[in-house]
Amino acid sequence: METSPDQPRKRREILLFLFITVVLFPVLSVMIVGGYGFAVWIYQMIAGPPGPAGG
């Protein structure tokens, strides 16, 4: 069975694809959603909660 010179490159591409789909995208999505939630939380600490004022 011959190994072509593209074999190590193909393996590296598959490992990189798996890393991106299994590790990088989930971590980035959690960071983005968490950052947005944190920004809303800080905004509501400054501007107050939504809804009619007074009671």
Mean per-residue pLDDT, 24-36: 98
* Residue 36 within any structural domain of the chain: yes
* Residue 49 within any structural domain of the chain: no
Residue 44 scores a pLDDT above 90 = yes
- Residue 28's domain comprises 16-40
* Residue 47 within any structural domain of the chain: no
Q: What is the helix, strand, coil percentage profile of the chain, to 5?
A: 75, 0, 25
* Residue 24 within any structural domain of the chain: yes
End-to-end CA distance of the chain: 80
Q: If pLDDT is split at 50, 70 and 90, which confidence band does 6 have?
A: confident
Tally of structural domains, the chain: 1
Rounded distance between C-alpha atoms, residue 2 and residue 41, angstroms: 59
* Residue 28 within any structural domain of the chain: yes
* Residue 29 within any structural domain of the chain: yes
